């Protein structure tokens, strides 16, 4: 299978050169990162655990962290689970890669939202999976279309970002959540729920995992405590749990030190404090982005974002050409063509509120609009 660079990575390289208007990064707001608490946690785990913090963590991850995460997902996400059913990974991307290796072979049918997050479907493609795009609208994946596609292509795996979708920002409606779970039971589908953003917003829809224990849940602490810690996790039970735990042993990719640091920040309530502030900041930033787009690029929004970090727009011109012009003005975003499964719409882009200051969002959208109008 041919490897290719993600447009997110390519755009992020530009962002690292110091763009004033960084609409590309999926990283959390720098002002929310608990860097001082991280230092305190390092001192605490160094004193308390000594050399254990640089030893092997054990298959499936550090026991203490798995126990603390079981409390976290119950409290924050409504997922009641035994700590043994939580497998620690080196971020959510690593979790998706492991699940792809475990569950997918050449021609395995995988139903995904269209558009979807380009970086999570890359390892599925590498495994040789057959990706079937399911249309998305403002209520998320169209489960009625999914049902039709299953009759055509047969059973398989459903990969979805039901809450705060990447790249569109929409959320799956409650009716469609129920329908998706019904379809899965009827046709013997495996559901992989990818969920980086639910904890960061108030009043989100319940996770699929909280509605059905059969769902494989992929979570992350990257958006809460910092992406550089590389701590993700999978909540899964039964034979799949055992197999995933064995597969995770192949690389032991999650740092023991990072696991101890995250464990300490969870037990001290640092994550809860960050989430509380995030639930105030991110809705304001997303509202600012939507308002600016409506004002300066009317009708550009292809979907109405509900939550998360992203808005997906029609750029009216080739997005890569637009990006080349935009970087000269200090603007960077992610071209959207590769987010699609069934087609490549090169006049689309993903804009992120993650790293950009709220005070620069409106100004940045106006600057982008001026470039589009002049193209």
pLDDT at 228: 95
Q: How confident is the model at residue 354 (pLDDT cuts 50, 70, 90)?
A: very high
Query: Half-sphere exposure of residue 348, counting CA atoms within 13 Å on the CB side?
Result: 20
Q: How confident is the model at residue 64 (pLDDT cuts 50, 70, 90)?
A: very high
Parallel/antiparallel/unpaired status of strands 86-89 and 232-235: antiparallel
**Under CATH, to which class is 35-270 assigned?**
alpha beta
d(CA 15, CA 25): 7
pLDDT at 119: 93
d(CA 28, CA 223): 5
Is 90's pLDDT higher than 70?
yes
- Span 180-199, average pLDDT: 97
C-beta of residue 156 within 8 angstroms of C-beta of residue 109: yes
Is 1's pLDDT higher than 70?
no
pLDDT at 76: 95
What is the percentage of the chain residues whose pLDDT exceeds 70?
99
Is 370's pLDDT higher than 90?
yes
Global pTM? 0.95
Dihedral angle of Cα 24, 30, 33, 36, to the nearest 10 degrees: 150
Please check whether the two domains, 7-34+272-374 and 35-270, share a CATH topology: no
Domain ranges for the chain, please list them.
Answer: 7-34+272-374, 35-270
Dihedral angle of Cα 217, 199, 59, 99, to the nearest 10 degrees: 30
Distances 162 to 125, 167, 170 between C-alpha atoms, Å: 21, 12, 8
- Span 226-249, average pLDDT: 93
Is 13's pLDDT higher than 90?
no
CATH number of 7-34+272-374: 3.90.1150.10
Pick from 38, 121, 24: nearest CA to 320? 24
Write out pLDDT tens, residues 154-173. Answer: 999 999 999 999 999 999 99
C-beta of residue 152 within 8 angstroms of C-beta of residue 144: no
Is 3's pLDDT higher than 80?
no
> What is the SS3 assignment for 299?
coil
pLDDT at 188: 95
Write out pLDDT tens, residues 70-89. Answer: 999 999 999 999 999 999 99
pLDDT at 218: 98
Write out pLDDT tens, residues 306-352. Answer: 999 999 999 999 999 999 999 999 999 999 999 999 888 999 999 99
Is 16's pLDDT higher than 80?
no
d(CA 88, CA 219): 10
Query: Half-sphere exposure of residue 238, counting CA atoms within 13 Å on the CB side?
Result: 6
d(CA 290, CA 295): 9
Report residue 315 as tokens. 């750029």
| Average model confidence (pLDDT) across the chain | 95
Rg (CA), the chain: 20
C-beta of residue 57 within 8 angstroms of C-beta of residue 202: no
Pick from 267, 274, 221: nearest CA to 48? 267
Which residues, including other chains, have CB under 8 Å from residue 260's CB and lie 6 or more apart? 41, 45, 49, 52, 53, 62, 64, 65
pLDDT at 75: 95
């Amino acid at each position: 299978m041919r490897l290719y660079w993600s447009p997110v990575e390519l755009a992020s390289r530009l962002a690292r050169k110091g763009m004033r208007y960084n609409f590309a990064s999926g990283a959390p707001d720098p002002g929310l990162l608990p860097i001082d608490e991280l230092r305190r946690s390092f001192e605490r785990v160094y004193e308390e655990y000594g050399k254990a913090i640089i030893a092997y963590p054990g298959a499936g991850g550090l026991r203490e962290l798995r126990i603390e995460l079981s409390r976290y997902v119950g409290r924050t996400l409504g997922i009641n689970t035994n700590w043994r059913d939580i497998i620690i990974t080196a971020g959510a991307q690593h979790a998706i890669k492991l699940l792809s290796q475990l569950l997918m072979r050449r021609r395995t049918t995988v139903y995904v939202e269209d558009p979807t997050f380009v970086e999570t479907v890359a390892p599925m493609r590498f495994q040789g999976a057959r990706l079937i795009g399911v249309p998305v609208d403002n209520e998320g994946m169209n489960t009625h279309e999914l049902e039709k596609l299953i009759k055509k292509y047969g059973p398989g795996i459903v990969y979805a970002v039901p809450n705060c979708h990447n790249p569109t920002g929409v959320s799956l409606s409650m009716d469609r959540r129920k329908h998706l779970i019904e379809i899965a039971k009827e046709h013997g589908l495996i559901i992989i729920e990818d969920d980086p953003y639910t904890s960061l917003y108030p009043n989100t829809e319940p996770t699929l995992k909280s509605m059905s224990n059969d769902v494989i849940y992929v979570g992350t602490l990257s958006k809460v405590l910092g992406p550089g810690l590389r701590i993700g996790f999978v909540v899964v039970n039964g034979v799949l749990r055992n197999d995933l735990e064995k597969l995770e042993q192949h690389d032991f990719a999650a740092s023991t030190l990072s696991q101890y640091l995250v464990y300490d920040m969870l037990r001290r309530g640092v994550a809860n404090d960050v989430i509380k502030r995030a639930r105030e900041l991110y809705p304001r930033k997303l509202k600012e982005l939507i308002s600016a787009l409506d004002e300066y690029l009317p009708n550009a929004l292809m979907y109405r974002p509900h939550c998360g970090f992203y808005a997906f727009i029609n750029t009216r011109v080739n997005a890569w050409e637009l990006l080349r012009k935009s970087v000269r003005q200090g603007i960077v975003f992610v071209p959207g063509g590769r987010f699609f499964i069934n087609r490549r719409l090169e006049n689309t882009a993903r804009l992120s509120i993650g790293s950009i200051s709220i005070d620069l969002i409106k100004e940045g959208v106006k600057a982008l609009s001026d470039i589009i109008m002049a193209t």
